[in-house]
Structure 1
């Protein structure tokens, strides 16, 4: 029985041209077409996730250290320093003073019972994009995080 099947198969495939090696070429072609965009997507999503971590932690810590400071000037300096640490920790070299925006619900800012909102924006440039293209078209993803911290109600005014 198996001899008949083999003969039938040989007779059926005898008139076809050879396909030797074309499967490998097709596999490599499809792999390149599919694999390169997937790897690029993973790289971009990884940088966006790192920016999200950096912005969230920077905003949280900036608001927290601002309300714990003795005065507004010291709070601003500490907030910028905490943003710098958070951004550097995730590999971003953005200027922390430009990335941070602090807004207060009262004037002066550290009035007992007031709220301090810290907003941090990190710009994520797309990887492997040449600078001359980036100058013409903005190829970056902005990531923003905001945190609000209350000023202690029983804070002693200084």
Structure 2
């Protein structure tokens, strides 16, 4: 979806209301596509005292896999996005997270939402904060069952482990 900010950047009192469902078939997280239902974007763009604001509420369903135990994950996520729209930055080397520079007064909303979703999601997706993962030897999911595998002993401490053996 393309948003044209020409009127707002020319100090128009008009407001752009946004109620948009974005198809997220090309959104990649790790090695899979987790946003099967797309992304809902609601909000508005408005001008106030010569400054153009973009306020968005983004929500989506995430369908993925736990990085430790490989269980399926289904979560609802939502976040707010508040940006200031400008034609150009005074100093090109400045990188302000609150500002979006629009070329030709047009913003590609799909590109913005895609990037913000990538930044919002955690680097490591877990089914729960205390996920125990899989046993490295037998592959059992340690969240549901205990394994009977012997613990590996660090070879540097093997002599100390011999002291713990009952005689």
What TM-score, normalized by structure 1, do the two folds share?
0.28
User: Bigger radius of gyration, 1 or 2?
Assistant: 1
Question: Which structure has the higher relative contact order (CA within 8 Å, separation 6+)?
Answer: 1
| Larger fraction in helix | 1
| Larger fraction in strand | 2
What TM-score, normalized by structure 2, do the two folds share?
0.27
